[in-house]
Amino acid sequence: ERRIQAFQVFEQLSLPKTNSENWRRTDIRGLDLEQFQLVTSNKSQPNGKSPEFFSALEEGKRNSGLIIQKDAAVVYSALSDTLTDKGVYFAGFKAALDERPDLLKTYVCQTIQSEDNKFNAMHNAFLQSGYVLYIPKGVVVDLPLRVIVSLSGEAIADFSHTLVIAEADSQVTILEEHLSVDQQEKGLHCGGVEIFLGQNAFVNYAQIQNWNKKVWNFSTQRAKLERGANLRWITTSLGSRLSKLDQLVEMNGEGSHADLLGLTATHARQHIDIHTYQKHAVSNSTSNLLYRNVLKDRSRTVWRGMIEVQKDAQKIDSYQQNDNLILSKQARADTIPGLEILADDVRCTHGATAGKIDQDQIFYLMSRGLSYNQAEQVIVNGFFESVLQRIPLEYLRNQLQESIAGKLQLN
With respect to residue 258, please indicate whether it lies within any of the assigned structural domains: yes
The answer on 264 and 208 residing in a single domain is yes
The answer on 388 and 377 residing in a single domain is yes
In contact, 203 and 249? CB cutoff 8 Å: no
The answer on 111 and 187 residing in a single domain is yes
DSSP 8-state class, residue 221? E
Residue 50 is predicted with a pLDDT of 57
With respect to residue 205, please indicate whether it lies within any of the assigned structural domains: yes
Q: Helices (H) and strands (E) in the chain — how many of each?
A: 10, 22
Q: How many domains does the chain have?
A: 2
Residue 48 is predicted with a pLDDT of 46
Which has the closest alpha carbon to 316: 272, 277, 349?
349
Alpha-carbon torsion (194, 63, 212, 398), positive or negative = positive
The answer on 139 and 82 residing in a single domain is yes
Cα-flanking dihedrals φ and ψ of residue 164, to 5°?
Answer: -120, 125
Residue type, 42: N
The answer on 109 and 68 residing in a single domain is yes
Name beta bridge partners: 332: 300
The answer on 257 and 389 residing in a single domain is no
The answer on 366 and 352 residing in a single domain is no
In 252-367, DSSP assigns E strands to: 257-266, 271-280, 286-295, 300-309, 316-326, 332-336, 339-341, 346-356
pTM as predicted:
0.94
In contact, 264 and 292? CB cutoff 8 Å: yes
The answer on 368 and 287 residing in a single domain is no
Residue type, 52: E
The answer on 348 and 408 residing in a single domain is no
Q: Give the domain extent around 385.
A: 360-411
How far from each other are the two terminal CA atoms of the chain, in whole angstroms? Answer: 52
3-state secondary structure 246-281: EEEEEECCCCCEEEEEEEEEECCCCEEEEEEEEEEC
The answer on 162 and 282 residing in a single domain is yes
The answer on 128 and 181 residing in a single domain is yes
Q: What is the mean pLDDT of each run of 10 residues along the chain (411 residues)?
A: 91 92 93 89 48 59 88 93 98 96 95 96 95 99 95 90 99 96 90 99 96 97 99 97 98 98 96 98 98 97 97 96 96 96 94 94 94 92 91 81 85 67
How many whole angstroms separate alpha carbon 132 and alpha carbon 195? 10
The answer on 344 and 322 residing in a single domain is yes
With respect to residue 34, please indicate whether it lies within any of the assigned structural domains: no
With respect to residue 30, please indicate whether it lies within any of the assigned structural domains: no
With respect to residue 16, please indicate whether it lies within any of the assigned structural domains: no
Model pLDDT for residues 146-202, shown as the tens digit of each residue: 999 999 878 999 999 999 999 999 999 999 999 998 888 899 999 999 999 999 999
